[in-house]
Structure 1
Amino acid sequence: MKLNHDTITLSRRRFLSGLGACTALGMLSPSLLVPNTARANAQDARLVLTGSHWGAIRAKVVDGRFTEALPFELDKHPTKMIAGLADHVYATSRIRYPMVRVDWLRKRHLSDTSQRGDNRFVRVSWDEALDLFYQELERVQKEYGPSALLTSSGWQSTGMLHNPGAMLSRAIGLHGTSVGTGGDYSTGAAQVILPRVVGAMEVYEQQTSWPLVLQHSKTIVIWGSDPYKNLQVAWWCPDHDEYAYYEELKQKVASGEIKVISVDPTVSSTHDYLGREHVQHIALNPQTDVPLQLAIAHTLYTENLHDKKFLSEYCVGFEQFLPYLLGSTDGQPKDAQWAATLSGIDAETIRALARQMAANRTQIIAGWCVQRMQHGEQWAWMVVVLAAMLGQIGLPGGGFGFGWHYNGAGMPTRKGVILGGFSGASSTAPIHNGDFKNYSSTIPIARFVDAMLQPGSTINWNGKRVVLPMIKMCVFAGTNPFHRHQEYNKMREGWKTLETVISVDNHWTSTCRFADIVLPATTQFERNDIDQFGNHSNRGLISMKQVVPPQFESRNDFDIFRDLCKRFDREAAFTEGLDEMGWLKRIYQDGVQQGKGKSIPMPDFNTFWNEKEYLEFEGGSLWVRHQSFRDDPDLEPLGTPSGLIEIYSKTIADFHYANCQGHPMWFEKAERSHGGPASEHFPLHLQSCHPDYRLHSQLCESETLRAHYTVAGHEPLYLSPQDAAARGIQDGDVVRVFNQRGQVLAGAVISDRYKPGVIRLHEGAWYDPIWDGEHAGLCRYGNPNVLTLDIGSSDLAQATSAHTALVQIERFTGGAQKTAAFMGPKEMVAQCEYVEKPES
């Protein structure tokens, strides 16, 4: 049998008739070649300017093929990850055609949902795929109403126009209402608690300018943060200029001008860069950060090192917090000796840490990892309490910040414009605006699997009662829930309750494999766009030129959703009468008008696009976080009920949540290493931090980058020499990592950067389960979320608790298990019918 993938189109009717008439199915691996349509546009070698989450690049194109990413000349600290960007276009995991899961195509919403993930799909035409998409939207709205439909997106690509989430929101919103979600997986606990405490989300906001920190700070406490690693990527196109300040910090640390303290169970990349010999390491036991914080606060108070004036003038509630701190409410003073037993840090070291922080100007750099655990709200709250007790909030080089590792935080901000983009909202009313049938219209995003498994149950969420809806259909665009959610075996059970799952993406992620309809979207290198260059720095604007044509049958999200909207007569409302270049001109022109109001001259669009390609803004003003509040708390109050920092929150207290009360507290975890709950059988704490060589799960498909870090074809598992020796594990061994929730394979990397009892599997590793046989259920590649715990952080935030996870490891003796995650699906065609027609 000979098949030509460029010409065969299978109708659903013909497929089903062939499937019924035949006894066997052919399984075809997708071609790795660039299609003829792309090769026909071959040109001589050229460099094309574009942007990405990893920075701006000059894409080298040879004979019509993207061959290499060269750093943009204004990026002086490019990330090593740009070496994988060409793979993003041509990887074996690329989605080439619209595809439909075999059994769903046969039975639609009555299909056997237990077959999801088995990787068996049928290629269909774009028209047929979009017809099926539209028909399912209609069916679900009419049969169940909006409470049965959930949509979700992520940060797949940069660019002001081609935002998959905005396009998904507008298209689905024009058709009908659906379940909304709140929060996110990155900062879920902190972003809910901090507005209650300091009146702002804090986690995504600008931080005090680095020149002021370097000038005024004497002590920098890096608590659960790794900015040197994580600043490689950003929401908009990063300029990476902040790395120059880290070079300066390294010099000041070496000379003794600034003391850096790293509070982390591991030696982070930032710690390692600044110099292990110069950085004080507080290698505490995982999940005991709050006891350590409370003990520091206890020392500050009992040794009279706290700033009474600041607490009196800028805060409320310290008096309500103090009885708990001193132990008069529960009989347990939260002193250094108490914290030493839990944290593994001796009491005198804790007291010395408190004295060091109080002795001079101290900047607390707090990350997001620690708040991704059970009761993560308490840690974020205590960061603020410690900074308030030190009394340096609003001073240059003092106070706290939660976003130093993100978006070039601390960069002086230039005077420039901020472009708008394609909005997910529309003034046109939806066709279907049905009844939610007493279900809640918005749920916390990290509880969406609970809604699948327990529809109609009620949970608390930030002062509200939420009735989880009965979700029957999910639509995902530019996101991978089978990366970001926890406890996959539980998730797979929830997935079985869904009648239809649609994914719009450019690679065969796990979410696509567990979908029913898969639509191939272009990568950002196959379309035109405009991006901000630099994030908090606002350095300029950059044109994102199309590097290569859309590969195979992929389409821009704009064209996909425009074509969908045609099917219910909302195309004009979706496009507003503009095509791709029309939208780019509008977005840019809105920036020109904004610039006129700020006296910022900008060339016209054609000059920018065709001649200049990028613009740099001038200036670079310095700024101190919370300075305006400190200077005048009456005229510049915080967004809390009192307008002040709320060490005690009456609002939260009145919620009457047992697991998040009126002031910060220590709560024991469901499982905790180093003698904590569940550690008898699973003694190792599993970290699942941001990876070194990808952005979450993006670029895991890059064979070029995987060659730098995989071990025996698996995701690396980092562990201490002591833990390895105790289990007879050698560097390079394939190991089984397991607990009561699941099991994965990984390749052992033994490193002295890890405290005994702490191991690490980076998040974003592609999920690759074995379906049957002796090792059924085992993830061959090494995704940590097979093992993580899916419970809400507390009744307040209901956020992810991914870092509350214990495991055990052992050498794997089950033979070689080759990873299959990075290949396309098994394309199923009836052998007896679909033979290529001879050319006429």
Structure 2
Amino acid sequence: MDRRTFLKTGSIAAAAVAQAQAIPLVGESLLNDKKGSFSASHFGAFEANVRNSRFEGVNAFEGDDYPSSLVNALPARTYAEDRILYPCVREDYLKNGYKSDKSKRGKDKFVRVSWEKALELVANEIKRTHKEFGDDSIYGGSYGWYCVGSLNNPQALLGRMLHITGGYTSRTCTYSTHAIRQITPYITGTDESTAKPTAYPVLIKNSECIVFWGADVVNTNQIAWGVPDHKTYKYLKELKEEAKKRDIKFYIIDPVYNNTGMYFDAEHIKVNPTTDVALMLGIAHYLYTNKLHDEKFLRKCTYGFKQFKEYLLGNTEDKIAKTPKWASKICGVDEKVIEMLAKEFASKRTMLMGGWATQRAHHGEQPNWMLITLASMLGQIGLPGGGYGCSYHYSGGGVPMPAAATGNAQSEKSLNGSTGPQAEKGALSASPGLSGMSRKTKIDGPWQKSKVPVIPVSRIVECLENPGKEIKFDGNIIKYPDIRMAYWAGGNPFHHHQDRNRMIKAYQKLETFVVQDAFWTATARMADIILPCTLEQERNDITKAHSNSYIFAMKQASEPYGEAKDDYDIFTELLKHFSNKHVHAFTEGRSKMEWIEHFYNASYEKAKNSGVKMPSFKEFWEKGYCEFETPEVAKKFVRFEDFRKNPIVNRLGTPSGKIEIFSKKIASYDYDNCKGHPMWFEPMEWLGSEKVDKYPLNLISPHPKYRLHSQLNNTWLRHLEEVNGREPIWINTKDAKKRGIKNGDVVRIFNDRGQILGGAVVTEYVKEGAVRMQEGAWYDPSEAGEPGTLCRHGDVNVLIPDVGTSNLAQGNQATALVEIEKFKEEVPEIGIFKSPAIKGA
């Protein structure tokens, strides 16, 4: 949204906060009214307005021309009814410790305890578990979109604490990019989920055809792992305006006509969920058999097209030519449309914008491999406005950014992208980045020998179910450890993991489950010990923009709510139950503000050595941010330009130095579910499988519009989209009519894994046979802690299978087959957004 709309929305948000029930602060001291206390979040930077110690509103950061409405919900989140106000322990665990009845998790009552008691219980359990079961018996692989601060990064701090106390098991990969980040280094030598794509100004000037393939850039650029400055929207607007002048063609290839398709009035190619590889193969076959492919580029810049070609033409074991006709039967796209796309892509300067949606599926390694292969056949990789990019839909992808300062004196040209005296004048033309808390301390001690084995992040439930089991992963064999204790900080696994009912049973195997969070999420309600932490606006910290254009001060705007403590303080006080040496190893002798200044000064020195000026820490903290200019050369960046010109000199990080359409290394693993070149593998659940007789609708679960995964779902934002208090599910008009479902009906969505409620949105914007329900709605079981019970709110991951993508990535999925029916019983009340009953409160 533009700034005017933001301000209008902000006033509405402030009114909503004013109506919220006020819960007395514990130990509150009256602060003077503060306006303009600078802070930042995953939704953007802002100035926090505070009155009578309460965080009441936000003003958009002046450097953000397109602020997201999401940031307006932060005051409401701060004082949400489900805020955890004090340490709590599950009643049976308080009586019996690790010998408690694990089946009571999720439904047992909680008892309020002192911080001293809670930390004593946690410390004693860490000691006991290490002593009885060894280093790897504690799972500290907390995962999730923790706060943006460099100091209070709960996952880094948790790892640091557990490393100092004796070791733990951690995780590798992410739920967002599990398959793409494992497969693409084999293809191009880099993780394509984060690789810098061709800059938007280049696309605006040169592209003739832009394809959004499983990507919704308008929606997903609202947020960032760091802090978004939303510069993407400036370029999207320019791209739309340029399209009117040059008749740029836009396609959206997706089962759903999403926000991006609507914005660009793109032509919708309605593909069946999880069949994108078949569609790409059909296009590739037409390109090759009609000599529309670029043979010269394939010879010069790729390796292994010969092996792939034999598969494409049906000369290998399956004896099936991957023709448009063959592809059409699988993907649901008309044969003539497939041929049209092939001719369109080949005749125009085409940019294939591949998102992360297609790789969150069974055999999710294949779509991005095939996308790169298709782009290679078109031969436009390295040309202005052509090729592919797999990170445009993520915050700042394609946005020109400041160069990274190297820490050494550089020429003016390398720093600024042009000659001239800019460096001498002190132009802030390179970003030094910003460091943060490390998982390992620099203080010597016995902890230096602590082991930190890792498992694929999405395999945690399988690990709990099968200690000692060996699995194949990325060319290796890994053995699951025997996890007895889990400590979760800065994440919500009972949102982001799949197959909720299986997960509930698996977590009952833990002897102790500790959760450190600010809210009574479904995860917190499954815990034995709960430690309340502060939110970003309740503490001091430092962070940077995802684009590297800014470093932001995060100044405490309001006092901690209830008895909440900073994550840094929680771990420091916990380590007091071990020894002063443990505390010193954790803090390295620095206070919180000293750490913040230390992180800034490290950037300051790096910038200084690179000829880039930065203000002193005092000046920075007073102003609230430090800005770095983007050089003009960044606006001309073309991915693979140098490689295309000379692939021998500018080798990629692959064994051949080229784009590997065929990978000898992957082929050597001899996996039956991920072979040496991209292939069509039939998914475990899709519209072509036998299961459609029982569950005929293919559910997809994209990123939500009004939250970040599950974050902000406990605020007024959910009312902007929910239907009768339920998470909306889009269903095609014809599919709805067959089931007697009307717009606004509460429906039951179900399969063999579980059942949830949703609110029907009957629309032509979703393909017939597919239904769309956003991930991130909080899990709200009718019978707490009981597997199989109805989720009253609409947690889509109740229905998604927890099966690895393949032996290569062992990634997670985001689709499933389901059936839907009108819910005819009395619609139950939502209960998840209120705190549970607590004894002693």
What are the superposed Cα offsets for residues 730-757 of structure 1, whole Å, 9 maximum, x if unpaired? 1111111100000001111222211111
1:152 aligns with 2:166: no
In structure 2, give the amino acid aligned to 1:313: K
In structure 2, give the amino acid aligned to 1:165: Q
* Aligned positions of 1:53-452 closer than 5 A: 53-118=42-107, 120-153=109-142, 154-275=144-265, 279-329=266-316, 330-414=318-402, 415-428=430-443, 431=446, 441-452=453-464
1:691 aligns with 2:679: no
Supply the distance in 2 between the matched residues of 1:694 and 1:772 (Cα, whole angstroms).
24
Query: Helix, strand or coil: the match of 1:476?
Result: strand
Supply the distance in 2 between the matched residues of 1:505 and 1:122 (Cα, whole angstroms).
17
Kept in 1, the 8 Å contact 2:499–2:797? The answer is yes
In structure 2, give the amino acid aligned to 1:493: K
> TM-score when scaled to structure 2?
0.91
Query: Helix, strand or coil: the match of 2:690?
Result: coil
Deviation at 1:76, TM superposition (A): 1.1
Instruction: Name whichever of 774-783 and 175-184 sits farther off.
Output: 774-783
Instruction: Name whichever of 555-564 and 247-256 sits farther off.
Output: 247-256
Query: Helix, strand or coil: the match of 2:41?
Result: coil
Kept in 2, the 8 Å contact 1:739–1:787? The answer is yes
Matching residue of 2:695: 682
Query: Helix, strand or coil: the match of 1:679?
Result: helix
Matching residue of 2:496: 484
Supply the distance in 2 between the matched residues of 1:793 and 1:770 (Cα, whole angstroms).
31
Matching residue of 1:557: 567
Report the CA distance shift for 1:592/1:551 in structure 2 as closer, same or farther (over 3 A): same
What are the superposed Cα offsets for residues 456-480 of structure 1, whole Å, 9 maximum, x if unpaired? 2221101011111221111111001
Supply the distance in 2 between the matched residues of 1:196 and 1:376 (Cα, whole angstroms).
15
> TM-score when scaled to structure 1?
0.91
Percent identical pairs in the alignment equals 43
Report the CA distance shift for 1:776/1:262 in structure 2 as closer, same or farther (over 3 A): closer
Instruction: Name whichever of 148-157 and 383-392 sits farther off.
Output: 148-157
What are the superposed Cα offsets for residues 569-595 of structure 1, whole Å, 9 maximum, x if unpaired? 211111111111111111111111011
Kept in 1, the 8 Å contact 2:179–2:360? The answer is yes
What are the superposed Cα offsets for residues 134-163 of structure 1, whole Å, 9 maximum, x if unpaired? 111111111111232111232221122211
1:653 aligns with 2:667: yes
Kept in 2, the 8 Å contact 1:149–1:178? The answer is yes
Unaligned 5+ segments in structure 1 are 1-29, 835-840
Query: Helix, strand or coil: the match of 2:698?
Result: strand
Supply the distance in 1 between the matched residues of 2:765 and 2:690 (Cα, whole angstroms).
25
Instruction: Name whichever of 718-727 and 630-639 sits farther off.
Output: 630-639
Deviation at 1:316, TM superposition (A): 0.8
Kept in 1, the 8 Å contact 2:456–2:810? The answer is yes
Instruction: Name whichever of 420-429 and 765-774 sits farther off.
Output: 765-774
Query: Helix, strand or coil: the match of 2:398?
Result: coil
Query: Helix, strand or coil: the match of 1:759?
Result: strand
In structure 1, give the amino acid aligned to 2:289: T
Kept in 2, the 8 Å contact 1:669–1:677? The answer is no
What are the superposed Cα offsets for residues 639-686 of structure 1, whole Å, 9 maximum, x if unpaired? 11111111111111111100001111111111112x433111111111
Structure 2 counterpart of 1:455, from 467, 471, 474: 467
Matching residue of 2:626: 615
Supply the distance in 2 between the matched residues of 1:576 and 1:659 (Cα, whole angstroms).
47
Deviation at 1:501, TM superposition (A): 0.6
Deviation at 1:775, TM superposition (A): 11
Query: Helix, strand or coil: the match of 1:413?
Result: coil
In structure 2, give the amino acid aligned to 1:393: I
Report the CA distance shift for 1:773/1:73 in structure 2 as closer, same or farther (over 3 A): closer
Deviation at 1:635, TM superposition (A): 2.6
Kept in 2, the 8 Å contact 1:54–1:237? The answer is yes
Report the CA distance shift for 1:456/1:429 in structure 2 as closer, same or farther (over 3 A): farther
Kept in 2, the 8 Å contact 1:145–1:434? The answer is no
Matching residue of 2:407: none
Kept in 2, the 8 Å contact 1:160–1:420? The answer is yes
Kept in 1, the 8 Å contact 2:747–2:760? The answer is yes
Supply the distance in 2 between the matched residues of 1:768 and 1:344 (Cα, whole angstroms).
35
Deviation at 1:119, TM superposition (A): 5.3
Matching residue of 1:6: none
Structure 2 counterpart of 1:643, from 644, 657, 663: 657
Structure 1 counterpart of 2:681, from 639, 646, 667: 667
Deviation at 1:61, TM superposition (A): 1.2
Report the CA distance shift for 1:773/1:134 in structure 2 as closer, same or farther (over 3 A): closer
Supply the distance in 1 between the matched residues of 2:302 and 2:337 (Cα, whole angstroms).
28
In structure 2, give the amino acid aligned to 1:634: I
Deviation at 1:36, TM superposition (A): 5.0
Kept in 2, the 8 Å contact 1:141–1:434? The answer is no
Structure 2 counterpart of 1:602, from 607, 611, 614: 614
Supply the distance in 1 between the matched residues of 2:649 and 2:433 (Cα, whole angstroms).
27
In structure 2, give the amino acid aligned to 1:318: F
Supply the distance in 2 between the matched residues of 1:430 and 1:291 (Cα, whole angstroms).
55
Supply the distance in 2 between the matched residues of 1:249 and 1:140 (Cα, whole angstroms).
57
Deviation at 1:714, TM superposition (A): 1.4
Structure 1 counterpart of 2:639, from 625, 636, 639: 625
Deviation at 1:194, TM superposition (A): 0.3
What are the superposed Cα offsets for residues 14-39 of structure 1, whole Å, 9 maximum, x if unpaired? xxxxxxxxxxxxxxxx995131533x
Kept in 1, the 8 Å contact 2:521–2:778? The answer is yes
Deviation at 1:634, TM superposition (A): 2.2
Supply the distance in 2 between the matched residues of 1:720 and 1:253 (Cα, whole angstroms).
30
Supply the distance in 2 between the matched residues of 1:317 and 1:241 (Cα, whole angstroms).
39
> How many pairs align?
788
In structure 2, give the amino acid aligned to 1:130: L
In structure 1, give the amino acid aligned to 2:390: F
Kept in 2, the 8 Å contact 1:196–1:649? The answer is yes
